[in-house]
């Protein structure tokens, strides 16, 4: 289809939108127009060359914008028109226009990535003289369309669906729902243009429009749940759109700094309402659910390494209104940070560790106040539970990242161990250790499970072959903490095994730590058969020499070290 015929089809849609004729006269014309336009949509979906050629026409993009503006003017005059067959037909027409724009963005994106030689070859193949693509101008037009037309149009469709639900006309909902899905397909495509191509042409005012849009969207999710009309395609487009927006560091900085409530509201809706709705809805297959889980999680991948994340999280948490949202967001970050297989670049690692340390200090301080209280009311118990979940996510993320040398170096540089041990002590003295024989906890006992286990993991990573940290642990009485957790605790499964490994690295090649542990008996901390067995598992033997308790490496540990050095 030539550019002229495409322009003619768009012009016909504009005239049908403007026409004052009654439905009886317009209906045959609209149906014929829809049929012809369907061919154009199929063509631009399947023919890459045609899609690229049409996408390079500024006049076509101008017509697309005009068609949307005319539709918006018509629907804005009388909201009651949403219930009429005529406006439904016109909505179907405008949906076709949006789908065309969606297709052409794909063509434009591939065309703009061509080198000069590839571009010349393209024009030669389609029989046109070589010319420069006005890429900046086209993208500028698309972003103006994004802000001025598509976002308001999407909100218009949402308002129409809401009005139809409230007034009891559900039979028209599908028309506007399908048009809204087309809008999100367009939005997910336009925001997928590479940063390199769009960085010089994105107008500043887009950010404000986007943020207003983000703030408004959560108001509609409950309506979708009531109507049960949410489909996989819509959710995928919405999540991809958000992911693409959040991949823009500059926009993310503006959101974190100027509009934290908007992003908290949006994230809270996705994590606390939308995804639980999807998981509990039988209409979604296991395959669809898995796909949605992965794509929804991708929304937060760039966010997790953004330098503005830490202050944003602490500011949101201090507001006291969104603690459960922070719980779910940190859980999403935890999944990302503990499952990424190919590592992070150094700058991103620095940003990640920085906000993890900052948020741990904040959450640990808040949790410590609650843990130290003798009795908690119900609100305080709920708050402590939320901080427990947050601290688990933060510490587990840090524990996973300590596999990287850069992370351990950064934690040591900022003396993280000195922040970790005091909190370890607070948890140790204020929580109930459950033995297998214990039937129930004493009154007012506090539970903070798995936190100490992860703390021991982090300590182990930081003291491994690090003499300074080994010394610090002895000086701040951290050795006793580790030894105290070498016993069975049903609330901390496997902590005994972690503690034994930690003891091994605390004592390894550190005579003063070995001497300190050996002298515990003289201080009244008896090295009984159970504790002696623990030390032996860590690779040390307890001996009496000249009436003094001393530790030495076990024969087995010495053999293993010699074998390792020999290989």
Give 362-427 as a 3 state SS string.
Answer: HHHHHHHHHHHCCCCCHHHHHHHHHHHHHHHHHHHHHHHHCCCHHHHHHHHHCCHHHHHHHHHHHH
Q: Which of 52-56, 210-214, 330-334, 476-480 has the lowest mean pLDDT?
A: 210-214
Q: For residue 535, what pLDDT band results from cuts at 50, 70 and 90?
A: low
> Quick one: average pLDDT of 143-167?
81
pTM of the model: 0.84
Contact 279, 289 (CB under 8 A): yes
- Residue 550: φ, ψ to 5°: -135, 155
Q: Residue 556 pLDDT more than 70?
A: no
| Residue pLDDT, tens place only, 316-331 | 898 877 788 999 999 9
Q: For position 111, what pLDDT does the model report?
A: 75
Mean pLDDT of the chain: 83
Q: For position 531, what pLDDT does the model report?
A: 54
d(CA 360, CA 414): 13
CA–centroid distance for 540 within its chain: 45
Q: For position 526, what pLDDT does the model report?
A: 41
Please tell me which of 233-247, 334-348, 396-410 the model is most confident about, judged by mean pLDDT. Answer: 396-410
| Better-scored residue on pLDDT, 345 or 320 | 345
Q: Residue 205 pLDDT more than 50?
A: no
Q: For position 260, what pLDDT does the model report?
A: 83
> Quick one: average pLDDT of 447-459?
94
| Residue pLDDT, tens place only, 489-523 | 767 778 888 988 999 999 999 999 988 888 774 44
Q: For residue 391, what pLDDT band results from cuts at 50, 70 and 90?
A: very high
Q: For residue 52, what pLDDT band results from cuts at 50, 70 and 90?
A: confident
């Amino acid at each position: 289809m030539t550019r002229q015929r495409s322009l003619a089809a768009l012009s016909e849609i504009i005239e049908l939108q403007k026409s004052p004729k009654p439905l009886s006269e317009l209906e045959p014309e609209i149906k014929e127009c829809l049929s012809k336009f369907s061919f154009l949509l199929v063509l631009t979906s399947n023919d890459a060359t045609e899609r690229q050629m049409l996408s390079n026409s500024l006049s076509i993009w101008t017509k697309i914008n005009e068609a949307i503006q005319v539709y918006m003017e018509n629907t804005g005059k009388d909201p009651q028109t949403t219930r009429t067959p005529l406006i439904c037909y016109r909505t179907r027409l405008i949906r076709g226009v949006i789908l065309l724009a969606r297709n052409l963005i794909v063509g434009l994106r591939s065309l703009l990535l061509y080198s000069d030689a590839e571009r010349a070859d393209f024009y030669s193949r389609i029989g046109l003289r070589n010319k420069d693509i006005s890429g900046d101008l086209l993208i500028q037009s698309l972003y103006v369309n994004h802000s001025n037309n598509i976002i308001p149009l999407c909100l218009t469709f949402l308002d129409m669906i809401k009005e139809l639900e409230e007034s009891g006309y559900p039979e028209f909902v599908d028309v506007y729902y399908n048009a809204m899905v087309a809008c999100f397909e367009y939005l997910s495509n336009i925001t997928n243009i590479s940063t390199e191509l769009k960085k010089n042409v994105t107008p500043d005012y887009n950010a404000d429009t986007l943020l207003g849009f983000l703030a408004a969207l959560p108001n509609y999710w409950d309506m979708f749940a009531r109507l049960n009309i949410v489909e996989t395609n819509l959710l995928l487009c919405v999540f991809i759109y958000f992911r693409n927006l959040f991949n823009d560091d500059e926009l993310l900085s503006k959101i974190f700094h100027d509009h934290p409530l908007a992003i908290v509201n949006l994230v809270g809706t996705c994590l606390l309402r939308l995804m639980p709705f999807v998981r509990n809805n039988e209409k979604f297959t296991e395959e669809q659910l898995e796909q949605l889980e992965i794509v929804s999680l991708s929304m937060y991948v760039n966010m997790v390494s953004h330098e503005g994340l830490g202050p944003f999280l602490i500011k949101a948490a201090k507001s006291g209104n969104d603690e459960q949202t922070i719980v779910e967001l940190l859980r999403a970050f935890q999944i990302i940070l503990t499952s990424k297989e190919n590592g992070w670049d150094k700058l991103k690692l620095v940003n990640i560790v920085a906000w993890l340390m900052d948020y741990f200090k904040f959450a640990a301080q808040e949790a410590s106040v609650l843990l130290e209280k003798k009795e908690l009311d119900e609100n305080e118990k709920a708050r402590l539970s939320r901080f427990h979940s947050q601290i688990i996510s933060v510490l587990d993320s840090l524990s996973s990242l300590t596999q990287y040398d850069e992370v351990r170096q950064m934690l040591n540089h900022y003396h993280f161990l000195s922040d970790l041990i005091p909190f370890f002590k607070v948890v140790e003295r204020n929580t109930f250790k459950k033995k297998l024989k214990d039937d129930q906890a004493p009154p007012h006992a506090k539970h903070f499970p798995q936190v100490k286990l992860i703390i021991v993991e982090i300590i182990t990573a930081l003291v491994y072959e690090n003499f300074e940290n080994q010394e610090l642990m002895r000086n701040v009485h951290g050795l006793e903490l580790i030894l105290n957790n070498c016993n069975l605790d049903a609330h901390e499964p496997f902590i005994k095994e972690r503690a034994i490994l930690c003891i091994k690295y605390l004592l390894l090649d550190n005579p003063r730590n070995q001497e300190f542990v050996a002298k515990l008996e003289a201080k009244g901390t008896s090295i009984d058969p159970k504790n002696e067995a623990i030390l032996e598992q860590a690779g040390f033997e307890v001996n009496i020499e000249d009436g003094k308790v001393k530790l030495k490496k076990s024969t087995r540990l010495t053999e293993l070290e010699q074998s390792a050095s020999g290989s």
